[in-house]
Chains A and B, each alone.
Chain A
Amino acid sequence: MFKLLGAFCIVAGCSYLGLRIASIYRKRTELFRFLQNGLTLLETEINYTSTPLPLALERVGQKMHKDCQPLFIRAATVLQEKKGVTAAEAWAAGVRALGGEVPLTKEETELLYVFGHGLGGSAKEEQVKNIALTRKQLSLVEKVAEEEQVKNQKLWQYLGFSLGAVIVLILI
Chain B
Amino acid sequence: MKVELIFQIAGIGILTSIFHIILKQAGKEEYSFIATLAGVAIALIMVIQLLAELLDQVKGVFFL
Partner-B contacts on A (CB < 8 A): 151-152, 154-155, 158-159, 162, 165-166, 169-170, 172
Asked if A170 and B12 sit within 8 Å, CB to CB, the answer is yes
Known A169-B8, A170-B42, A172-B8; contact A155-B23, beta-carbon cutoff 8 A: yes
Could you tell me the distance in whole angstroms from the C-beta of B36 to the nearest C-beta in chain A? 13
Bound complex: CA of A169 vs CA of B22, how far in Å? 19
**Assembly CA distance A169 to B28 (angstroms):** 25
- In the complex, whether B54 has a CB less than 8 A from a CB of chain A is no
B15 at interface by CB-CB < 8 Å: yes
Contacts of B16 in A (CB 8 A): 166
Say yes or no: B19 contacts A162, CB within 8 Å.
yes
Closest residue to B21 on the A side, CB-wise? A158
Taking the closest CB of chain B, its distance from the CB of A15, in whole angstroms, is 14
- Which of B11, B19, B25, B26 contacts A169, CB < 8 Å? B11
B18 interface residue per 8 A CB criterion: yes
State how many residues of chain B have any CB contact under 8 Å with chain A.
Answer: 15
Known: A155-B22, A169-B12; 19 extra A-B contacts, CB below 8 A, are A151-B26, A151-B27, A154-B26, A155-B23, A155-B26, A155-B28, A158-B18, A158-B22, A162-B19, A162-B22, A165-B15, A166-B12, A166-B15, A166-B16, A169-B8, A169-B11, A170-B8, A172-B4, A172-B8
Q: Which residues of A contact B8 (CB under 8 A)?
A: 169-170, 172
User: Which residue on chain B has the smallest CB distance to residue A157?
Assistant: B22
Residues of B within 8 A of A151 (CB): 26-27
Chain A residues contacting B19 (CB-CB under 8 Å) are 159, 162, 166
A172 to B26 Cα, complex, angstroms: 30
Measured in the bound complex, the distance between the Cα atoms of B18 and A158 in whole Å is 9
Shortest Cβ distance from B13 into chain A, in angstroms?
10
A170, B28: Cα distance in complex, Å: 25
